[in-house]
């Protein structure tokens, strides 16, 4: 069954050329179950939560029937869930050598119907005060995967599409193929989206036994066997092999993880399954991120009202205690970890200050060593009127930083898609990025891009070195200082680009429909 596209992005180009190319199909209503560890605004640790929220909003607006299934974390803000109720008090789920009872609750979050899996176990799987980071994460999400399929089966539904995300749901395509397809899912098809192959769900083989799977059938190089260790299963491998279609979140990243070390051991597997693999660029949810209507910023503005951005810049300086001055504000809004290029971020902050810019950073690090580096810089700059580092995450402040900043620094070592650069451009912030993944698909250099000037929107560098970073930052700061009219044009180019979910949502819907066409013909 050849249902998808080939990821043929040429890395020498500004942007990946390939997108989903599918035959025209007559629109039909779809029943979609989105299965994820995250969904903003109630369960969010990173971009996955924004993705699920944004794509779900778009599909619902198209008239599809959609439900998101999540774990029932103790961190859920229950006041954000309308009509929360128990819909299945004693769902019995096979686990280890016994039956585990789960409650299933349901409610509506920001217009999205959501179901919540709540295992009733002394292990309190999802009552840990956080989404990820537990030593038994493999077991926690294995329980979730089993419970999701049991719930759908016992509810008697026949969804057209099960859309699974990242390693936490990688067992679902495997369980469907090995145990559940014959029990009641004859027509459901699985779309599996890889948001970050840096996290693959490499687990002890005992996890397979716990959910009733036979390691002798699955611990093979072409199935779940983790390369180089016969005792470890790779859940992301399982999802890739057994899903009907697999995609990642930008065309460029799709090429990178098949053809470079960024595949982190999955390169050959993805090439083997190239006929069902490709990239679809993420969008941003403009019901959340739009300076024309954003309730979290003091002054609304847009391409036709760009001067009003100045009021937000002033408010940002007041909020952070920065001096009022004729200097550009460089923003960093990021998770602070190795992937995001923390060494380059630290260097970039010092370089920006040396070049006469102001700096506003909002971000947090889980790694104690990285956290220590930023806390030392925070202390070093504590009395500097041009620099503030907020080492936390604050949604309201994030909106104000985007609304008030002039430049944003995103020097990622790898970046599957990235939303920060799209949000920043929507708010008239010029991005400075490294040419990787979705950053390369969305940011086109003001000086060196081959694209028309009306499409150029930022500054790009290639080598993850201080020299590479400084080359882009110096060009950006110099343009702001010496040629403000051209800098304003870069702002406007970014603001006028369409980074909404409209196009990407249509591509996902077309893909779902095409899976149904393949199903009927297979």
Binding-site residues from annotation: 44
H helices, E strands: number in the chain: 18, 17
Cα radius of gyration rounded to whole Å, the chain: 23
Note whether 310 and 316 are within 8 A (CB).
no
What is the rounded CA–CA span in Å between residue 131 and residue 138? 12
Query: Using CA atoms, how far apart are residues 22 and 44, in angstroms rounded to an integer?
Result: 32
Write down the residue that tokens 């640790």 correspond to: 45
Give the number of other CB atoms < 10 A from CB of residue 292: 12
**Residue 186 is encoded by which pair of tokens?**
């004859």
Closest CA to 281 of 25, 458, 507, 459: 507
How many other C-beta atoms can be found within 10 angstroms of the C-beta atom of residue 257? 27
How far apart are the C-alpha atoms of 254 and 84, rounded to whole Å? 38
C-alpha dist (Å) from residue 229 to 203, 204, 431: 11, 10, 41
Mention every residue, 6+ apart, whose C-beta is less than 8 A from residue 170: 164, 192, 201, 235, 236, 237, 238, 239
Q: Going by C-beta distance under 8 Å and a sequence separation of 6 or more, which residues neighbour residue 423?
A: 284, 289, 402
Residue 171: how many CB atoms within 10 A of its CB? 31
CB 446 within 8 A of CB 452: no
Q: How far apart are CA 135 and CA 398, in angstroms?
A: 31
3-state secondary structure (DSSP) of residue 41:
coil
Report d(CA 170, CA 181) in Å as an integer. Answer: 16
d(CA 249, CA 254): 8
Residues 6 or more apart from 381 whose CB is under 8 A from it?
A: 349, 353, 359, 387, 388, 389
Cα 395 from Cα 369, distance rounded (Å): 25
Burial of 364 from C-beta contacts in 10 A (0-12 / 13-18 / 19+): middle
Q: Which residues are annotated as a binding site for ADP-alpha-D-glucose?
A: 44
Q: Report d(CA 338, CA 336) in Å as an integer.
A: 7
The Cα–Cα gap between 123 and 121 comes to 5
């Amino acid at each position: 069954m050849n249902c998808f596209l080939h990821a043929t992005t040429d890395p020498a180009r500004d942007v990946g050329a390939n997108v989903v190319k599918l035959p025209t199909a007559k629109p039909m209503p779809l029943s979609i179950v989105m299965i994820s560890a995250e969904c903003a605004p109630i369960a969010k640790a990173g971009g996955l939560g924004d993705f699920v929220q944004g794509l779900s909003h778009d599909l619902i607006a198209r008239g599809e029937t959609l439900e998101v299934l999540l774990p029932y974390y103790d961190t859920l803000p229950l006041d954000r869930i309308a009509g929360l109720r128990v819909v299945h008090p004693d769902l019995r789920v096979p686990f280890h050598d016994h039956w585990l009872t789960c409650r299933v609750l349901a409610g509506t979050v920001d217009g999205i119907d959501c179901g919540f899996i709540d295992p009733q176990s002394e292990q309190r799987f999802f009552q840990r005060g956080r989404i990820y980071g537990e030593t038994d994460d493999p077991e926690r999400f294995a329980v979730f995967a089993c419970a999701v399929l049991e719930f759908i089966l016992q509810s008697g539904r026949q969804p057209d599409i099960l859309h699974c995300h990242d390693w936490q749901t990688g067992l679902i395509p495997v369980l469907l193929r090995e145990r559940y397809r014959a029990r009641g899912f004859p027509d459901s098809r699985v779309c599996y989206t890889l948001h970050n192959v840096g996290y693959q769900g490499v687990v002890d083989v005992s996890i397979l036994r716990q959910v009733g799977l036979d390691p002798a059938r699955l611990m093979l190089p072409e199935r779940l066997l983790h390369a180089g260790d016969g005792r470890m299963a790779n859940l992301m491998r399982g999802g890739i092999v057994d899903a009907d279609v697999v995609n990642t979140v930008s065309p460029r990243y799709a090429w990178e993880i098949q053809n470079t070390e960024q595949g982190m051991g999955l390169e050959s597997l993805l090439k083997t399954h190239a006929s069902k693999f490709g990239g679809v660029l993420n969008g941003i949810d403009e019901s959340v991120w739009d300076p024309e209507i954003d309730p979290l910023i003091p002054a609304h503005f847009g391409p036709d009202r760009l001067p009003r951005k100045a009021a937000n810049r002033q408010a940002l300086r007041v909020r952070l205690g920065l001096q009022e001055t004729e200097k550009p504000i460089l923003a960093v809004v990021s998770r602070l970890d190795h992937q995001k290029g923390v060494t380059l971020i630290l260097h970039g902050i010092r370089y920006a200050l040396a070049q006469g810019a102001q700096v506003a950073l909002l971000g947090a690090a889980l790694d104690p060593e990285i956290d220590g580096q930023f806390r030392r810089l925070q202390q070093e700059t504590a009395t500097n009127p041009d620099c503030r580092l907020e080492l936390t995450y604050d949604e309201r402040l994030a909106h104000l930083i985007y609304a008030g900043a002039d430049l944003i620094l995103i020097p990622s070592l790898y970046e599957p898609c990235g939303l920060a650069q799209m949000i920043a451009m929507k708010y008239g912030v010029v991005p400075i990025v490294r040419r990787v993944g979705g950053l390369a698909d969305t940011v086109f250099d003001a000086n060196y891009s081959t694209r028309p000037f009306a499409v150029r929107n930022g500054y790009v560098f290639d080598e993850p070195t201080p020299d590479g970073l400084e080359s882009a930052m110096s060009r950006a700061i110099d343009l702001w200082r010496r040629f403000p009219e051209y800098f304003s044009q870069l702002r406007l180019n970014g603001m006028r680009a369409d980074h909404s979910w409209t196009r990407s949502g249509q591509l996902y819907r077309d893909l779902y429909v095409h899976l149904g066409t393949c199903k009927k013909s297979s």
